[in-house]
Amino acid sequence: MKLLVGLGNPGAKYAHNRHNIGFMAMDRIASDHGFSAWRNKFQGQIAEGRIGSNRITLLKPQTFMNKSGQSVGEAMRYLKLEPADVIVFHDEIDLAPGKVRLKSGGGHAGHNGLRSIHDHIGADYGRVRMGVGHPGHKDAVPGYVLRDFPKADADWLDDELRGVSDGIAHLVAGDGGKFLNAIALRVAPARSSTSTPKPKAAPRPPESPVDTRSAMQKLVDRFK
């Protein structure tokens, strides 16, 4: 059994915020892998299913971000799991948009959702850090993460979420490298070997040699 947690804030007002990328990841996984309908439990919304040989519970805490740990702790205890069985998906301002990294243990780096989870279950859980970029100044961070993704981000965001779904079986099986590779193949796909190569420029015709004969010599040669 694994508990996958997506962080975000509940309600339509926040649905497309950068802070809600964790919720978006849970929705994509549930949709692509045939999970149950979402229902209310553990102060959140859960969906249940299987990925490979693993039973999976997806959780979207509905406590608001800074109390996420209440929901995660309740779910973990009820399901009789250890922190190592929990993987949290969250926005990461210290990574560029489209970049994803994995982490286990360590600090919360000031992220309010992670801070709350630390308080309730400790630090020894897995994390999927999903880059949303940095506004440039720490004072601008709260407003930045609570704004919607701009339309210009739609393509890479969709590719990243599809990649997360593509690779999730590898992640729950413990192969983080293959999980990240599945995302990379979506976000930055390799160029196809069957793609039409660019046409080569036509070779330039050879230049005519410069005629250095005098006018008299040209006249003589003409009547030879």
Cβ(124)–Cβ(104) below 8 Å: yes
Q: Is residue 21 packed enough to be buried (19+ CB in 10 Å), middle (13-18) or exposed (0-12)?
A: buried
Q: Which listed residue (19, 90, 111, 170) is catalytic? A: 19
Annotated catalytic, 19?
yes
SS percent in the chain: helix, strand, coil, step 5: 40, 20, 40
Residue 105: closest CA among 78, 93, 87: 87
Can you tell me whether residue 101 is helix, strand or coil?
A: strand
| Active site residues per annotation | 19
